[in-house]
Amino acid sequence: MTGIGIALSKGRILEETGPLLARAGLSPKEDPESSRKLIIPTARRDVSLVIVRAADTPTYVAHGAADLGIAGKDVLEEHGGEGLYQPLDLGIARCRMMVAVRKGFDYAGAVRQGARLRVATKYPRTTRDFFAAKGVHVDLIRLYGSMELAPIMGLADAIVDLVSSGRTLKANKLVAVEEIMPVSARLIVNQAALKTRRAKLQPLIEAFAKAVQP
């Protein structure tokens, strides 16, 4: 790709990025939600949106396949962030990464007694680091979605998942017991590209910064 690519995912991230893209002069030329195209031209001829899965955004940017990207802190922590510059918290797609258990499960007791906790999550790296820092032994169960099911079905004692309104936990009789981190979406930039193509990329980063705080 000779122009500048901005990797981002459909759904939440794209929805909440829409107003920022508009203010930065980068409105998509067609609606990415309904289009089947994965590369969408924007109001600027040299800038396109590259539609990827949320968890793949850091990979595209770290390899330089896209110069820029927009990804949640959850996804960035899990990726590790190598090769990425993170100049801007966009303050969108906010939620919290939490540990949750079935109502009535004695989490504090299990942790205190040094029991092995079975934890289901799609964030194995973040989860392992979090519990390791607390000295809690965990058996990690890697899932790809619907984590809320795991404690109900007896697959796990706890889950690590994102919570925003708390309605999903409540509907499944789960309670949040600990916060791992607050999450919001970040602008990410390929570190090498920022050096070799600074003249092109720096103004875009500034346009996003202005769009966040107009």
Contact residues for ligand PRT, defined by CB under 6 A:
9, 11-13, 53-54, 72, 74-75, 93, 95, 145, 161-168, 183, 185
Q: Burial letters for 89-120: b for 16+ Cβ neighbours within 10 Å, e otherwise? A: ebebbebbbbbbbbeebebeebbeeeeebbbb
Burial class for 214, CB neighbours closer than 10 Å (0-12, 13-18, 19+): exposed
Closest distance to ligand PRT from the beta carbon of 63 (Å): 19
Closest distance to ligand PRT from the beta carbon of 213 (Å): 21
Q: Tell me whether residue 116 or residue 173 sits nearer to ligand PRT (CB atom).
A: 173
Q: Tell me whether residue 170 or residue 195 sits nearer to ligand PRT (CB atom).
A: 170
Q: Tell me whether residue 160 or residue 189 sits nearer to ligand PRT (CB atom).
A: 160
Closest distance to ligand PRT from the beta carbon of 22 (Å): 19
CB atoms within 10 A of CB 208: 22
Closest distance to ligand PRT from the beta carbon of 45 (Å): 28
Closest distance to ligand PRT from the beta carbon of 16 (Å): 8
Q: Tell me whether residue 13 or residue 150 sits nearer to ligand PRT (CB atom).
A: 13
Q: Which of 130, 147, 135 is nearest to 77 (CA)?
A: 130
Strands 4-8 and 117-121: unpaired
Q: Tell me whether residue 9 or residue 190 sits nearer to ligand PRT (CB atom).
A: 9
Closest distance to ligand PRT from the beta carbon of 163 (Å): 4
Q: Tell me whether residue 52 or residue 140 sits nearer to ligand PRT (CB atom).
A: 52
**Chain residue whose CB lies nearest ligand PRT:** 72
